[in-house]
Amino acid sequence: MAAVESGHPEAQQEPSEAHQIVVDNNGAENIPKDEPRVPSSEQPRHDVVESRWANLSICRIPHHLKDGDKKAYVPQIVSLGPYHHGEEHLRPMEEHKLRCLHQILARSHHEIGLYLDSVKEVEQRARACYEGTISMSSDEFVQMMVLDGCFVIELLRGYEQGFEKLGYPCNDPIFSTWGSMLKTRIMRDMILLENQIPFFILDRLLGLQLGLADLELRVHGMVLNFFHSEIGGRLELDPSPNQLHCLKVLWWSLLPRDLEQKKTQEWAHNREQLIPCLTVLRESGIKLRRGYGSVLGDIRFMYKDGILEIPKLMIHDGTRSLFLNLIAFEQSQFDCGNHITSYVIFMHRLMNSPEDVRYLYKHEIIEHCLGSDAEVADLFNRLCRELAFNICDSYLDALSSDLADYYFGSIPNFPNSCVAVIKVIYLVCVRSLGARSLARKWRGWRAILKNKYFDNPWSIISIIAAFVLLVLTSAQTFYAVYGYYWPRS
């Protein structure tokens, strides 16, 4: 058996038992098999400390959510944190974590004790981030945090600066451009709610490597840069220093910048619950246009022009897992709202069939690499299962109400009570005269004409040719009849 060696060849010291990470002769970490353990007397009793709920940020996924698709919540390549530590199918990556730690120590000329002592100072704070009692000794928990945290930092730095500058060969299976084939799979494990490392741990480890302090915002930027290819679009950095982990950073970057919730009036009768799919909305005259903001922030409906503007969304094999974990994060944090959940349900209601998906693709609102358009519609349908949610409580409430009003032929919501009274009077008048129904039918007829007969140049040319032929035929018939009754003398 061997212990982790220091990066200083001439200053090697025998580390104390508290500073040992045991490895086997092949260099892989020797992790004991999962066995029931009795917590030691030195392990804190977090389950009886009421204040622990205030620090809880990395929760376990509820069983009713996991039953739908357990694979979407469980890491496939690498474990980060205590929840999946030591699982058999994740053991091969432990060897690469240890290689990474050796490389960091050799590059920074630090002793392993420096990292272990620094993390030991915040051990209780780190334990409080996780749900339930972590049945690991103090030494085991600290060593795990150092290994997993250094692994994450090394990936972020290598992607930003280049792995060769960090001392890795160009053919390294993990830490190289060639190793980026595994990057997508590792990246998707890093956004799982049960597979997170607290950000203050990453901040400490990066600060020790660079000899600087207070680098949390630096870590935020590295995370967004690392996940940009997986998420797509423009990811914005949160300037506040209270981020919890990688998933929280991604969650914030996808939020609309203006989260002011606009409530509809009680007399609106919650018509947003009756929003039909995109095909039906098109028949009422609503048009689509691609937005160029963040994924959620710039969804707008311009009532006067009947234009619904939605930013582009990239859909791939990891989209389901990403949204499921973001939704689970919102449900586990009482103070973060339901903005991602609102967005997913809104898109689900628009995409009810492959035709709806094709129309969104035509307008560059979605881009996907799944097998078919039907799979995209089914993806959002499965995302919304087991969700108890009322869109009236979301930031899309006012927009949904305006869409419903447009579809049912009314007028948009007004900001104050005086104009609201005028709106009620207007609705009563147009209903009694039947003008509301006629306006809706006229928009529908106009939309059908445009979508069915004027959707491409060839249809327009055919209609023009048919119209010219009709005019010529009518003229020929007219002159034939005219010549019969009024022949030339």
Worst-scoring range by mean pLDDT, 22-26, 282-286, 356-360? 22-26
- Checking if the pLDDT of 182 tops 60, the result is yes
- Checking if the pLDDT of 14 tops 60, the result is no
- The more confident residue out of 219 and 451 is 219
pLDDT in tens, 138-156: 999 999 999 999 999 999 9
pLDDT in tens, 234-246: 555 555 556 688 8
pLDDT of residue 112: 94
pLDDT of residue 87: 94
pLDDT of residue 274: 61
Q: What distance in Å separates the CA atoms of residue 462 and residue 452, rounded to the nearest whole number? A: 13
Phi, psi of 318 (to 5 degrees): -95, 0
Overall average pLDDT of the 414-435 stretch: 51
- The more confident residue out of 38 and 205 is 205
Closest among 29, 22, 16 to 2, alpha carbons compared: 22
Q: What distance in Å separates the CA atoms of residue 434 and residue 458, rounded to the nearest whole number? A: 37
pLDDT of residue 212: 80
- Checking if the pLDDT of 130 tops 70, the result is yes
- The more confident residue out of 433 and 463 is 463
Give the pLDDT band of residue 285 (cuts 50, 70, 90): confident
pLDDT of residue 325: 93
pLDDT in tens, 325-366: 999 998 887 777 788 888 898 899 899 889 999 999 999 899
pLDDT of residue 389: 67
pLDDT of residue 15: 42
pLDDT of residue 184: 83
Domain boundaries, the chain: 9-34+42-231, 266-418
- Checking if the pLDDT of 47 tops 70, the result is no
pTM of the model: 0.73
pLDDT of residue 283: 79
State the amino acid at position 93 in one-letter form: M
Q: What distance in Å separates the CA atoms of residue 220 and residue 249, rounded to the nearest whole number? A: 7
- Checking if the pLDDT of 266 tops 70, the result is no
Give the pLDDT band of residue 160 (cuts 50, 70, 90): confident
Average pLDDT, the chain: 77
pLDDT in tens, 52-73: 566 788 989 888 777 767 889 9
